[in-house]
Amino acid sequence: MREIIIALISSSITIVITSFFNYHFLIRKEIRMQANSYKVEILQKLYMPLMKEINKGYHPLDGYLGLNKKEFENVDNIIKNNYQFVSPNLALIHQILIEESYLWDVGYTRGFLDEDKYLLNHLEYNFNFYRKELGLPYNKEEMKRASKESKIKDGKIKGSIQVSTDEQ
C-alpha cells in the first residue's frame, strides 16, 4: 500500500512539473510567434513600401539626392496610413519632412526633401534590422553604414542640429 501511495505522489509531481514546463515553453513560443508576425506586418506595410518610394529617389549618376514632391506625398501617405507601426525616430523624421515640405510650398526653394538623408538612413537600417530579426537575407554593411550616418536616435536629433517645436 505504501508503494502505491509513493508511486501516485511521484507521478503526480512529475505531471505537475511537466505541465508547468510545457505551459511555460508554449507561452514563450506563442509570444515569439506573435512578435514575429508583428515584425512581418511592420516590414510589409511600412518599411517595404517606404523603401520602394525611396528607391525612386535614387538618380542613376548622382545616387540619392532626396525626395521630390510626388515621392514625398507617397511617403507621407504610407506613414499616415500605417501610423500604428511608426517608431519615435520615424515620427520625428516625418515631422522634419513635413516642415521642409511646408517651407518648400511657401517659396523656400530647394531641390529635394530629405537632403540630409534622415529618412534614407532610418529606412536602410530598420529595413535590414527587421529582415535580420525574421531570419531573411539582409545587408549587414548597409545596416552598419546607416547606423553610423544616422543623426536621429531615441526620437531626438544627435549633434549640433536642433529642431524647434516652439515656433509660432
Give the start-to-end residue ranges of the domains of the chain. Answer: 35-157
Side chain identity at 130, as an amino acid letter?
Answer: Y
Separation CA 91–CA 113 (nearest Å): 16
Question: What Å distances lie between residue 108 and 100, 112, 161, CA to CA?
Answer: 9, 11, 19
pTM recorded for the entire structure:
0.76
Q: Hey, what's the cell of 90?
A: 520615424
pLDDT in tens, 20-73: 888 888 888 898 899 999 999 999 999 999 999 888 877 777 788 888 888 999
Smallest CA-to-CA distance from 133 within 52, 37, 49, 45 is with 37
167 pLDDT above the threshold of 80? no
166 pLDDT above the threshold of 70? no
Residues β-bridged to residue 58: 64
Residues β-bridged to residue 67: 113
Separation CA 114–CA 54 (nearest Å): 10
pLDDT in tens, 117-148: 889 999 999 999 999 999 999 999 999 998 88
